[in-house]
Amino acid sequence: MFVDCDRHVGVGQYSDLFSHMPLAWQRHFERVEFVSSIDEASNHIRVSERWDHPHVDLEPPGDDGDEYLLVPHQGLTINGWADRVGAKVFAAAINSYGLENWASPTRKLALVVSPHDPAWSAAEITRLATAGSGVGAVAIPLGDSMLGSFTLNPIYEACLGADVPVMVHFSGVEGRYLGAPPLSGGVHLSAFSRLSLMPHLAESNITSLVFEGAFETFPDLRVIFAGFGFTWLPSLMWRMDREWRTFRHDLPWVKEPPSTYLPGRLWVTTSPVEEAAISGEWDRSFSSQQLRSLLAFGSHQPFDGDSAADVTRVLGDAAAAVLTNGKAAITGSRESVSP
Partner 1 sequence: MSSPVRKEKYPVVDCDIHPMVADVRRLLPFMSESWRRHFEVRGMRVYARARDRYNHPNITYRADAVCPDGGPAGSDMEFMLATHIEPFGIASALLLPQQPYGVTAWGDPDSAHAFYAASNDYFFEQWVPFDDRMSLAVTVSPHDPKAAAAEIRRFAGKPGVVGIQLLLLDTMLGSGTLDPIYEAAVENDLPVVVHQSGSEGCYYGSQGVAGGVPRSYGERHVVLTQVGAANVVDVIVNGTLEKFPGLKFVMVEWGFSWLSHLLPRMDLLWQRDPKAAPKAKKLPSEYVREAFTFSTQPLDETESPAELTALLETPGLESMLLFSSDYPHYDTDDPGFVIARIPDSMRSKVCYENALATFGDKVMRFRDPAAASA
Q: Which residues bind partner 1 (CB under 8 A)?
A: 48-49, 142, 144-146, 148-149, 174-175, 181-188, 190-193, 195-197, 199-201, 203-205, 207-208, 211-212, 229, 231-232, 234-236, 238-247, 249-251, 272, 274-276, 278-281, 284-285, 287, 304
Minimal distance in Å, beta carbon 295 to partner 1?
A: 14
Distance CA 115, CA 121 (A): 8
CB of 53 vs partner 1, minimal distance in Å: 12
- Residue 309: which residues within 8 A CB-CB, separation 6 or more? none
Nearer to partner 1, 19 or 289 (CB): 289
CB of 60 to partner 1, least distance (A): 25
Compare residues 61 and 182 and give the one whose CB is closer to partner 1. 182
Q: How far apart are CA 113 and CA 111, in angstroms?
A: 6
CB 47 to partner 1: min, Å = 9
Which amino acid, 18?
F
In the bound complex, what is the minimum distance in angstroms from residue 105's beta carbon to partner 1? 35
Nearer Cβ to partner 1 (103/155):
155
Which of residues 16 and 241 has its CB atom nearest to partner 1 in the complex?
241
The H or E element spanning position 8 is strand 3-9
Amino acid at residue number 330: I
Cα 19 off chain centre by: 26
| For partner 1, the closer CB: 17 or 198 | 198
Distance of CA 233 to the CA centre of its chain: 16
Q: Check if the beta carbon of residue 307 is closer than 8 Å to that of residue 300.
A: no
The Cα 109–Cα 88 span in angstroms is: 17
Q: How far apart are CA 201 and CA 170, in angstroms?
A: 8
| Least CB distance to partner 1 at residue 219 (A) | 20
Cβ-based nearer residue to partner 1, 47 or 103: 47
Q: From residue 6, give the alpha-carbon distance in Å to each of 42, 71, 330.
A: 15, 6, 12
